[in-house]
Amino acid sequence: MTDKEEFDGQNDFNREGAPDTEVGGIAGDRLRSIIERVERLEEERKALAEDIKDIFTEAKSAGFDVKIIKQIIRERKQDPADREEAETLLAIYKHAIGM
């Protein structure tokens, strides 16, 4: 390989004249793939958020309290022991302030 064929930091092409997909140690194709995957997932997340919003609208129109539904969903995600501890503390705090 001659000095002219070596990468001089000024050219973005490999020896065959094709665009080089690695620049400064970063593999361009891999980076583009990662970015595109994240973008697709963000689009899916947005669509899911809209679907969830529609479900809450449906629940509200059926007479349910959306705030309470969201609380139940949060509590169902908790570990049963953690949920029981939180409920116990809530009861203790309420009792302490006369509720």
40 in any annotated domain: no
25 in any annotated domain: no
Interatomic CA distance for residues 2 and 94, integer angstroms: 81
**Residues 85, 75: contact at Cβ < 8 Å?**
no
HEC-encoded secondary structure of 63-77: CCCHHHHHHHHHHHH
Task: Name the residue range of residue 89's domain.
Answer: 65-99
What pLDDT shows up at residue 24?
73
* Chain centroid to CA 87: 29
Q: pTM here?
A: 0.62
39 in any annotated domain: no
94 in any annotated domain: yes
23 φ, ψ to 5°?
A: -130, 125
Work out how many domains the chain is built from and give that number: 1
**Residues 66, 59: contact at Cβ < 8 Å?**
yes
70 in any annotated domain: yes
- Residue 10 pLDDT more than 90? no
- 23-81 residue pLDDT tens: 777 888 999 999 999 999 999 999 999 999 999 999 999 999 999 999 999 999 999 99
